Amino acid sequence: MSERPFSQEDLPLIVAHRGASREEPENTMAAFEAAVGAGAGAVEFDVRVTADGHAVVMHDATVDRTTDGSGLIREMTLDAVKRLRTASGSEVPTLGEVLRALSGRVAVDIEIKNVPGEPDFEPDRERAVELVHAALDDVAFVGDVIVSSFNPLSLAASLQIRPGVPTGLLTTAEVEAEAALRFAAAQGFRWTLPYIGRIRDAARRCAAATHDAGLLIGTWITDDPAEAIALFEAGVDAVATNDPRSLAAELAGR
């Protein structure tokens, strides 16, 4: 597994948000394959933990919105989760299945879902982080990895386990990009990942400040290729999109 930060040749980076989720149901193998085929530089997906301690790829704490079932993932066994079907009729993938499918083909941005206020928050342990690094080793993943989270404690746990794997601090619309940068730099995180509304009118200044601090900057999310390219031209290193195909085509046409 690569433990280097992204080199300049890798950037700017099109990040497929939950895969090519405009084309296929989010966080499914079909969405990830579509993202690779679309030319995304990285595929972003979310990790949660089942009742019996397995890592599965799912954004929400419950399965209600994206499958034909209901309930909290943390209260379901892996077998129960695997019996569910998404909108496309596919299974919910495990972390290992996703990593094996993407290894050697694309970078991955693995979002840790252990956030205060959510119903599956574990304040005393970072099981998702532990399972992510175990899976990366088990698969012998080939390619660049970012471990991202809205919870800085999850990122700190990741750095403790594997200091060489870059971490990215996600922040919400309520957090100023400058404050996020100062905090991320102080904590040793490699990426700052502010909400797009916080940098849209100040992208060049935010990107310059981030690079001066020795960090990289990404943002989430836009499905407007023109806006994404403007962000790239301003110095933003990565943009998350649900529609990587349109953005890749726009970039290729320039």
Distance CA 230, CA 221 (A): 13
The number of residues making up the chain comes to 254
| pLDDT score for 92 | 98
pLDDT category, 25, cuts 50, 70, 90? very high
Model pTM greater than 0.85? yes
The domain locations on the chain are 8-252
Q: Is the pLDDT of residue 147 over 90?
A: yes
Q: What is the pLDDT of residues 60-92, one digit of tens each?
A: 999 999 999 999 999 999 999 999 999 999 999
Per-residue pLDDT tens over the stretch 104-133: 999 999 999 999 999 999 999 999 999 999
Those residues with Cβ within 8 angstroms of residue 90's Cβ, 6 or more apart along the chain or in another chain: 25, 28, 29, 30
Of 110, 94, 88, 112, the closest CA to residue 34 belongs to 88
pLDDT of 8 above 90: no
184 or 4, which is more confident: 184
| Residue 254 pLDDT exceeds 80 | no
pLDDT of residue 64: 98
Encoding tokens for residue 19?
A: 């895969």
CA 224 from chain centre, in angstroms, equals 19
**Across 37-59, average pLDDT:** 98
Q: Produce one character per residue of 5-15: b if its CB has 16 or more CB atoms within 10 Å, e if not.
A: bbeeebebbbb
CA distance 188 to 117: 25
Residue 58 has pLDDT above 80, yes or no: yes
C-alpha span between 136 and 27 (Å, rounded) = 18
pLDDT in tens, 188-204: 999 999 999 999 999 99
Amino acid 200: pLDDT: 96
- Class of domain 8-252 (CATH, top level): alpha beta
Kindly report, residue by residue over 152-166, the tens digit of the pLDDT: 999 999 999 999 999
pLDDT higher than 60, residue 3: no
Distance of alpha carbon 24 from alpha carbon 253, whole angstroms? 24
